[in-house]
């Protein structure tokens, strides 16, 4: 009887923040050999998870693939630091800091650049991401490039969504549970 009380299952409250974004945009890459500036159309997707969306600040990880249509695909892993509003599908922002594997052109444009991405989120899963590639952590050719993406985050639009969008389209069970407004 005592062991049944001790080992009885309890309600779990371990929802995580989740991101799944798709989008496109434009990039400008500086290539040292030959000395040129390349402009490319970009397609991108990202997938990640973070701490509870109930918090004011959310920390997580993000995987992002960015395809420069005339060059190749960058594959990156980054730490993400986001506001609670962004995590809950409302107004907010996120900063990603990580490393990209650039396996095209034999590293001539930087094989493992450091990438910074600032993402500005609006309701309904809409977001604008602006990023920069710099340096090369492998010590090879340094990367220099910037990009801008317009994305829609399908999870911020659906399961994570709450806040200012709840009036027109109520989410009865957002991930992490509803955040109570301050009193």
- Return the SS3 of 83: strand
Question: What average pLDDT is seen over the chain?
Answer: 89
Confidence of residue 156 (pLDDT cuts 50, 70, 90): very high
Residue 157 in contact with residue 138, Cβ under 8 Å? Answer: no
Report, as an integer, the average pLDDT of 108-132. Answer: 94
pLDDT at residue 182, rounded to an integer: 46
The percentage of residues in the chain with a pLDDT greater than 90, rounded to a whole number, is 62
> Residue 123: CB partners within 8 Å, gap ≥ 6?
89, 90, 91, 161, 163, 164, 165
How far from chain centre, in Å, is Cα 84?
14
**Which numeric CATH code is attached to 17-157?**
2.40.160
The tens digit of pLDDT for each residue in 7-41 reads 666 655 568 999 999 999 999 998 777 788 989 99
pLDDT at residue 180, rounded to an integer: 67
The tens digit of pLDDT for each residue in 124-145 reads 999 999 999 999 998 888 889 9
Query: Domain ranges in the chain?
Result: 17-157
The tens digit of pLDDT for each residue in 35-64 reads 889 899 999 999 999 999 999 999 999 999
């Amino acid at each position: 009887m005592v062991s049944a009380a001790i080992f009885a299952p309890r309600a779990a409250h371990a929802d995580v923040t989740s991101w799944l974004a798709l989008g496109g945009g434009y990039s400008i890459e500086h290539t040292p050999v030959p000395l040129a500036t390349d402009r490319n159309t970009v397609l991108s997707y990202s997938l990640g998870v973070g701490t509870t969306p109930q918090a004011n600040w959310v920390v997580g990880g993000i995987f992002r693939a960015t395809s420069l249509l005339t060059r190749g695909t960058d594959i990156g892993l980054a730490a993400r630091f986001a506001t609670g509003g962004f995590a809950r599908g409302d107004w907010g922002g996120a900063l990603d800091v990580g490393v990209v594997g650039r396996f095209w052109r034999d590293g001539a444009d930087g094989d493992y650049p450091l990438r910074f991405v600032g993402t500005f989120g609006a309701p309904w899963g809409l977001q604008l991401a602006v990023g920069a590639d710099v340096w090369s952590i492998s010590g090879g050719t340094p990367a220099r490039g910037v990009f801008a993406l317009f994305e829609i985050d399908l999870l911020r639009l659906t399961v994570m969504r709450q806040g200012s969008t709840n009036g027109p389209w109520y989410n009865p069970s957002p991930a992490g549970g509803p955040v109570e407004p301050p009193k």
